[in-house]
Copies of this chain bind each other. A is one copy, B any other.
Amino acid sequence: MDQVTIFSEYVRRKGLKNTSQRMTILEAFLGSKSHFSTEDLYFELRKDHPKIGYATVHRTLKLFAECGIASELDFGDGQTRFEPLDVNQHHDHLVCTHCGLIVEFTEPQIEKLQEQVAAQHNFKIERHRHELYGLCSNCAKQS
């Protein structure tokens, strides 16, 4: 089931409405580079759709997160970022504190160890956040 379908069904199930703005934002969202902020997407959209308001972009991104096709990221810089979420493929992030570069990584062994930790504490994990902050190879060279 693709992301458009997931969203459409979510909208129907919740008694919400299918508007042209939402569809426009969904397209832009799916076509966008990952790790963008609401503001990023808003300005991207303004090029072709200058009438769509910031609040609508914001509310729609929240909807995407609610229905599971987007993931909200917080790298501690005061801006929430979003990325399209593929249910089957989880990943975490390396964040360069100098140039802002974001690299994704997956490490199944870490995921497994996490589950063990949770089990030891009788926790039922819903989600996790794992981010490594530092200098990317480029920035490490320069300094």
Contact = CB atoms under 8 A, between A and B. Distances in A.
B114 A132 contact: yes
B133 A130 contact: no
A123 B136 contact: yes
Contact of A107 (B97, B113, B137): B113
A22 B115 CA distance: 41
Contacts of A136: 121-123
Given A105-B121, A109-B113, A133 B128 contact: yes
Given A94-B117, A105-B117, A113-B107, A129 B133 contact: yes
Contacts of A28: none
Contact size range, A: 20 to 34
A132 B117 contact: yes
A96 interface: yes
Interface string A101-119: 0010101011001100110
A142 to B, nearest CB: 12
B117 A107 contact: yes
A51 interface: no
A131 B7 CA distance: 28
B122 A132 contact: no
Interface of A: 74, 76, 94, 96-97, 103, 105, 107, 109-110, 113-114, 117-118, 120-137, 140
